[in-house]
Amino acid sequence: MYKKTLLPNGVRIITEEIDHVRSAALGIWVGAGSRDEREGFEGISHFIEHMFFKGTEHRSARALAESLEAVGGQLNAFTTKEYTCYYAKVLDEDLDLAIDVLSDMFFSSLFDEKEIEKEKNVVIEEIKMYEDSPDELIHDVFSEYVWNDHPLGKPILGTEESIRSLSREKIMQFLTEHYAPDNVVISVAGKIKHEDVVAKLSPHFGTFNRGGRRVLEETPKGLTIEHYQKKDTEQMHILLGVPGLGQDDEDIYAMHIFNNILGGGLSSRLFQEIREQRGLAYSVYSYHSTYVDTGLFAVYAGTSPKNTQEVIACILEELMEMKTKGISVEELVRTKAQIKGGLYLGLEAVSSRMSRLGKTELTYNRVLSPEEVVEKLEKVTQEDVLRVIGRLWQKDNISIMTLGPAGHDVVMPEMLKQTGWE
């Protein structure tokens, strides 16, 4: 059962009371991420997330780290392309402490210039660590090329150059513009009472005023790209992708079913064919990144360089098979059950419930309940899935990227012709 209160300044508080647990999870969700960063500010959303943990007017960085750990709780945060979340999980009896700590970080962080310079080095090391992980790096590089200089394609961490250019002045400017009441959702789930939570949060979050509701850049137009990046690695990392769907698209549920059948788990077609039947890869999967107004559907595989062409051909053949013949009734029924089970099992934890409340309220301006999701999934037909495959996977929209040793480039037009796309 969800309850929602709109504070006078526009901050939204949304809760779910769960009486049978002894814990509570609280998240502060801000509608600001890397797609909100203009030139010269790349990486600042993630950097601010780091700086919130570097000391406040009332607590040192160490005191923040120890505050909730001392009572067995957790304190953490994460940044995405479209939002940032600061969250805590504690015993219900320690909720007041969690509210106090998160409020302290949100309103009283010092952003000390010496700490800013020190943290720049930390984030740059994080960027270098990421660049040493080609199976992760390829997704960011692919997005950057496909979205062609649009902020949505920029890496969340920023670049070494952009991080070096950040200053306290830029941080305060970004906070003023984006950490505004209209852009903040506070979600709480667990053994709590809505009225108590609102009463405890209101003194902290009910009166501040700055900035305004986010204004998004225009929707990016995805390019079709071929990019073969040379890197001295043991594996060849492969990514095939097409423009995807925005969060409100009517085909989003049919797309989820298609994605699951194609490469969403151990029983998926790609996993069974490429790994189990042919033994060509350890990691192979598909995914769909959904944003407010667009999306990106991609298939990833990591394989021995000598098997590059065979793996790409196998992916294209499987896609063409689904594009022409669709899916079976058995696959549809099984996948609906799989998604439904995963959805409900994921909600066993109060943290997951808190995340669902915060994310859906921030992105849809309402809570998207599990029951509503299941109801829409159940309405998807074989014809719906076939339609969405045809809509997304068109020959002229297929982009390819490989990251690995030289000498294994692919002639994409020939690959498409060989696999029935011509």
Distance CA 60, CA 67 (A): 10
Residue among 296, 288, 286 at smallest CA distance from 261: 286
Question: What is the residue-wise DSSP string for 338-407?
Answer: HHHHHHHHHTTSHHHHHHHHHHHHHHHSS---HHHHHHHHHT--HHHHHHHHHHH--GGG-EEEEEE-SS
Is residue 199 within 8 Å of 193, Cβ to Cβ?
Answer: no
Angle among Cα 55, 60, 66 to the nearest 5 degrees reads 110
- Give all strands (DSSP E) within 80-172, no chain letters: 84-91
Active site members:
49
State the Cα–Cα distance between residues 188 and 198, nearest whole angstrom. Answer: 10
What crossing angle do the helices spanning 370-378 and 252-263 adopt, rounded to 10°?
A: 80
Q: What distance in Å separates the CA atoms of residue 126 and residue 131, rounded to the nearest whole number? A: 9
List Cα–Cα distances, 157 to 3, 34, 178, 208, in angstroms: 35, 8, 18, 28
CB 299 within 8 A of CB 138: no
